[in-house]
Amino acid sequence: MNYQQILEKTFQEIIPYRKLGKQADYIPELAKVNPNQFGMCLRTLNGESFQVGEANVRFSIQSISKVFSLTMGLALMNDDLWSRMGKEPSGTAFNSVIQLEMEKGKPRNPFINSGAIVMADILLSHLRNPKTDFITFVRAIGGNESIDYNEALALSERKKSYMNAAIINLIKFYGNIVNRIEDVLHFYFLMCSVEMSCQELATAFLAFANHKAAFNYGNVKLTASQVKRINAIMQTCGFYDEAGEFAYLVGLPGKSGVGGGIVAINPMSYSVAVWSPRLNEKGNSVMGMKALELLTTKTKESIF
């Protein structure tokens, strides 16, 4: 498979989509990002790497970080984790309060905001130094010690986080938050603020693509069965209330973020990351969604 040629053709074909959508301007720091950027990197399990565009430019991974926090939470708690949250698709917006109230403070899955906030609470309770431990894990799996938080972005997001404040207060009311609300929100926004490039994200997600290999990054250890289950949750819950559309068009497990990034895996074959800041109404990258649809169409490779 000539992946480099496929990526280059894909890049040319998505140019008409460059001006569609808009970046997540409700987060002040993200509003400053040049929206006319696109990067894509594909890495295979046999060590090959292919890329186009701004694949080495770092951006805020936002909700893609929820895969890393789920990984750490599952390594710490095993199946006890699911007493705090579910693993079903939400079918509602990622910041829905209505669903959370109906389900008495138990988030539907770890990839919507309420689930990730509970996950932040879990990590605060179980890790000796949560801030250091989380970024140490991300650096290890991403293969670069210079990966870091953008603390200015985290502060920017906190200042406008009225909906997330409502979510965590509702969860606290139902007894599903243990730590101080401000501590949990601060850590949640820090995790979302991590900046990585497409190349680094594709590197990180090779560990999920190769579920038959040992998953062992410092104190974060998973069984092959646990890795496959994380992939299953990415497939069903990784794209807010557009997970079905992504499965239909692309056919790969993955996770998106409102920073414009999307990462996906083809199990036992490759991982691929794409970034373009302009989002559709569901909060997913317009060019990223189209690029991955074209990738699996051209390669005729998906999980289906």
Return binding residues for substrate.
63, 113, 157, 164, 188, 240, 258
Strands (E), 86-131: none
Residue 181: partners with Cβ closer than 8 Å, 6 or more residues away: 165, 168, 169, 172
Is there a contact between 277 and 261 (Cβ–Cβ < 8 Å)? no
Neighbours of 255 (CB within 10 A): 29
Is there a contact between 199 and 56 (Cβ–Cβ < 8 Å)? yes
| DSSP three-state, residue 212 | coil
Binding residues are 63, 113, 157, 164, 188, 240, 258
DSSP secondary structure letters along 255-289: EE-TTSEEEEEETTTEEEEEE-S-B-TTSSBHHHH
φ/ψ of residue 254, rounded to 5? -170, -175
Residue 43: strand pairing partners: 49, 271
Rg of the Cα atoms in the chain:
18
DSSP label at residue 123:
H
